Amino acid sequence: MIATVLDFGVGNVHSLTRGLLSLGLSIEVTDNPREALASELLVLPGVGAFSAAARQLAPVREELRAALADGLPCLAICLGMQLLFHGSEEGQGKGIGLIGGCSTRLTGDRVPHMGWNTVATASPLLSDSQPMYFAHSYACRPNDPSAVGGWTDCDGDRFPALVQTARTTGVQFHPEKSGEAGRAFLRTWIKEVERCA
């Protein structure tokens, strides 16, 4: 299976691609969102600024939302997860709008939130209370919490750590920085994608 990583051009996607390669996926990296639309499996990585990424996606936003809603498998990490929503306080531009809601700045004393947090979840993709690594200043605020598959908390600010809709999975944490727990999550996610193929 070939995974296409959409490079937003402002961060190093090397650790993510290396992690996916080690689990048996073939990887293509592109900065062209139209090429990403033609992928077997799409990865929206977690490094970058919302406005710049939204501008990059703007020419194919409607097509991308339709493809994801129709079942294009997608893993969206950190910024990638925030792009699944309608918009963000971080900057101008529209997200994909696959999930209703937007991202707002974290309200706790520690911003950015960087470090390990446990995720409360019933999702088969992740063990309940599993610590994962987070690095972000904004969090998704869904209009309807039914898409949320896992929650975490930072200084009393509770926010989604995992969302799922159609065959799209979004995670606020960074699996590529979460050691063996992150590898286990990616391995389980890949198996689930293959099972549904």
- Per the CB < 8 A criterion, the answer to whether 75 and 109 are in contact is no
Which residues, other chains included, contact 17 with Cβ-Cβ below 8 Å and sequence gap of 6+? 5, 27, 29
- Per the CB < 8 A criterion, the answer to whether 51 and 79 are in contact is no
**Catalytic-role residue among 78, 102, 140, 154:** 78
Lookup: tokens for 73: 């498998």
Q: How many alpha carbons lie under 13 Å from residue 26 in its C-beta half-sphere?
A: 4
Farthest-apart Cα atoms in the chain, separation: 43
**Catalytic-role residue among 113, 140, 154, 176:** 176
**Catalytic-role residue among 90, 102, 154, 174:** 174
Lookup: tokens for 18: 């290396």
Q: What is the dihedral of CA 85, 66, 173, 22, to 10 degrees?
A: -160
Would strands 148-154 and 26-30 be described as parallel, antiparallel, or unpaired? unpaired
Q: Verify whether residue 140 is a known catalytic residue.
A: no
Q: Verify whether residue 86 is a known catalytic residue.
A: no
Q: Verify whether residue 174 is a known catalytic residue.
A: yes
- Per the CB < 8 A criterion, the answer to whether 104 and 130 are in contact is no
Catalytic residues: 78, 174, 176
